[in-house]
Structure formats: structure tokens, C-alpha cells
Amino acid sequence: MAKKLVIKVTAGADAPERCSQAFTVAAVAAASGVEVSLWLTGESSWFALPGRAAEFELPHAAPLPDLLDSVLAAGRITLCTQCAARRDITEKDVLEGVRIAGAQVFVQEAVADEAQALVY
């Protein structure tokens, strides 16, 4: 099994099942002791902002704020630099513990030894 799981989620409220799947896999992996790096890109970028995850609803799915908190507690969450800029999101806007970084950092994490990358 990979020692690090790098997950890029591109979906938000526009594709709720795909979004929820990414957050669920990230939270379960983190709870299982896997090193997790969750990347918020595209429409999932909004979940880097306080309160936005609470607006997300999907029947029969774990609450997104709980999944987000689980990943923040045991892993790392990164907001894509370009995605943040397109939405006028800055470092002062995001949840505590969320960093903003670009493609170079994503690629570095994704191709690291013993890393597995997933894109939702």
C-alpha cells in the first residue's frame, strides 16, 4: 500500500457524488494512518473557505464539514493557486491549516516514492 495518498478533487456542488467520494476517501485514509494530501481545485476550491462545506448536501453521505475536519486533523489540505486566484481567494480567507500552492508542488507530491495519486 502507498504510504502517501495524494487526492485531487475537482468537483464541488456541481458534481456532489464525485466530490463526496474524494473527501470520504481522504478522511478514511487519514483515519487509517495513511499520510493524506487533499488538493482542492476547480469548484471544490470553495470548501477552503469557512462555512462553505456546511452548505454542501448529499443524501446518505457523511457531512462534508466532518470529512474536511478529519483530513485537516490528520493530513494536509491544499488549495490550488490558480483556482484560488480565479475566485479571488487569498491566504487570509481560507480555513486555518489550508495552504495555497501550485502545480509544481502537486506534481512533486504525486510522483514521490511510495505515493499514490487519485483525481476525482
Q: Is this prediction's pTM over 0.75?
A: yes
Q: How many structural domains comprise the chain?
A: 1
What pLDDT, in 10s, does the model give residues 47-104?
999 999 999 999 999 999 999 999 999 999 999 999 999 999 999 999 999 999 999 9
Q: What is the CATH number of the domain that holds 10?
A: 3.40.1260.10
Domain carrying residue 24:
4-119
Question: Based on the number of CB atoms within 10 Å of its own CB, is 88 exposed (0-12), middle (13-18) or buried (19 or more)?
Answer: exposed
Please say if the pLDDT value at position 9 is more than 80.
yes
The alpha carbon torsion through 69, 74, 76, 79 (nearest 10 deg) reads -10
* Count of beta carbons in the 10 Å neighbourhood of residue 20: 22
Please say if the pLDDT value at position 1 is more than 70.
no
What pLDDT, in 10s, does the model give residues 41-52?
999 999 999 999
